[in-house]
Amino acid sequence: MDTIMGTSPLNEAADVSADAPRWTVAAIEALFELPFNDLLFRAQQVHREHFNPNAVQLSTLLSIKTGGCSEDCGYCPQSARYHTGVENQDTLSVDEVVAAAKLAREKGATRFCMGAAWRGPKQRDLDKVVAMVKAVRGLGMETCATLGMLKPGQAAQLRDAGLDYYNHNIDTAADNYANIISTREYGDRIDTLEQVREAGLHVCCGGIVGMGETRRARATLIAQLANMDPYPESVPINNLVQVPGTPLHGTEALDPLEFVRTIACARITMPKAMVRLSAGRQEMGDAVQALCFLAGANSIFYGEKLLTTGNPDVDNDRALFERLGLQPMNPSAS
């Protein structure tokens, strides 16, 4: 149980071992194909080896710069290329960010994630984020940022400011990438992830399902995450939030039980990672979320809004935790 008992009050992520086994896509497809109960049982067993099964980590998101993004990610309401009704907003001030972080802390969040609709930050953007990270860290919260691609030296500046995690998703399997995004390549994501890792930041990296991909593509996404060496400390699994005006709006919705299977596969293949049940909770309903927790999800976005789309109300989440006997995870345990 050492892995869940951190020694420092913050910044104590699991030591995701560098000698974890490599996973083939076929092996993960075989997990997906297990009878549902067998898959969930196995995922729950793995989960219990490494975590308190009734504790869930709470992160609150804030969009620090909204809309008008130059990229063409087919799922994203913030791309300047699509008419989605998202109102563009310039970078927030440090005071605005601190006010939001204090509110999140009062409601029980232990990590504050700042997201920006950039292809990547310019140096003057990064200077502002550095000030935000220092201020939020000063509140005693863990910090995470998701700002797009980083240039050499930028990850170190974020680390020096006290950033704990950098979120940068591979989003979909490498061979599906060009179907979803044309303005950058899968390899660009890997470059940034390597810089984040080298700077000593914790890596938060996951993907999106429900984009019309095959089961094999979902298994490939999980394999590509699990085979990172080491695999990410935090793995957000997003269910596509379909926003009118985006190219992926109208995609056939994923069977919710297939989403649960995806969570279980992430848990089994990345046993010590925090697996985050991310976007899509509002559309999911309580019973499916309960199955996701059973499948090994142990982190959520907490607060009424993701970046631009809705998330369950805090009161709903509190009621759900009460019904399921879940408790918020102490930061030292994540």
Cβ closer to ligand SAM: 98 or 117?
117
**C-beta separation of 130 from 157 below 8 A:** yes
Point out the catalytic residue in the list 204, 205, 265, 292. Answer: 204
Spatial CB neighbours of 49, under 8 Å, sequence gap ≥ 6: 271
Closest distance between ligand DTB and the C-beta of residue 239, in Å?
10
Residue 79 binding result from ligand SF4, ligand DTB, ligand SAM, none, given CB thresholds of 5 to 8 Å by partner type: ligand SF4
Residue 278 touching ligand DTB (CB under 6 A): yes
Q: Which pair of tokens denotes residue 273?
A: 């990672």
Residues 202-221 that bind ligand DTB (CB under 6 A): 206
Determine whether 144 is an active site residue.
yes
Residue of 42, 111, 137, 144 marked active site: 144
- What are phi and psi for residue 284, nearest 5 degrees? -90, -30
Determine if 171 is a binding residue for ligand SAM (CB under 6 A): yes
Q: What is the closest distance, in whole angstroms, from the C-beta atom of residue 80 to ligand SF4 in the complex? A: 8
From residue 66 to residue 95, what is the string marking binding to ligand DTB with x (rule CB under 6 A)?
-----------x------------------
Catalytic site residue from 261, 276, 281, 292: 276
Q: Tell me: does residue 167 bind ligand SF4 (CB under 6 A).
A: no
Please check whether residue 148 is in contact with residue 118, taking contact to mean a CB–CB distance below 8 angstroms: yes
Residue 39 interacting partner from ligand DTB, ligand SF4, ligand SAM, none (CB closer than 5 to 8 Å by kind):
none
Do you find a cis peptide bond into 244, omega within 30 degrees of 0?
no
276 tagged catalytic: yes
Least Å distance between CB 15 and ligand SAM? 25
46, amino acid identity: V
Q: Please tell me the count of residues contacting ligand SF4 according to CB under 6 A.
A: 9
If one asks whether residue 224 binds ligand DTB (CB under 6 A), the answer comes out as no
- Judged by CB under 6 A, the stretch of 100-108, 210-218, 234-242, 286-294 that binds ligand DTB is 234-242
The terminus-to-terminus CA distance of the chain in angstroms comes to 12
Q: Which two three-digit tokens encode residue 283?
A: 């559309």
Total length of the chain: 334
Distances (CA, A) of 73 to 80, 172, 278: 10, 11, 18
Q: Which stretch binds ligand SAM (CB under 6 A): 81-89, 152-160, 167-175, 311-319?
A: 167-175
83 vs 96: CA distance, rounded Å:
27
Reduce the DSSP state of residue 151 to 3 states and report it: coil
Taking alpha carbons only, the member of 267, 275, 325 closest to residue 42 is 267
Q: Which does 308 bind (CB under 5 to 8 A by kind): ligand SF4, ligand SAM, ligand DTB, none?
A: ligand DTB
Q: Tell me which DSSP letter residue 182 carries.
A: S
Does the annotation count 292 as an active-site position? no
Which residues in the 60-119 window bind ligand SF4 by CB under 6 A?
A: 69, 71, 73, 76, 78-79, 117, 119
Position 238 contacts ligand DTB (CB under 6 A): yes
Give, as one character, the DSSP assignment of residue 165: E
Q: Does an H or E element contain 197, and which?
A: helix 186-198
- Catalytic residue flag (residue 265): no
**Cα angle 279, 290, 15; round to 5:** 70
Written as one string, the DSSP assignment of 296-310 is: T--EEE-SSBSSSSB
- Assigned token pair, 229: 């060496």
Q: Which residues bind ligand DTB (CB under 6 A)?
A: 61, 77, 115, 146, 167, 169, 206, 236, 238, 241, 278-279, 306-309
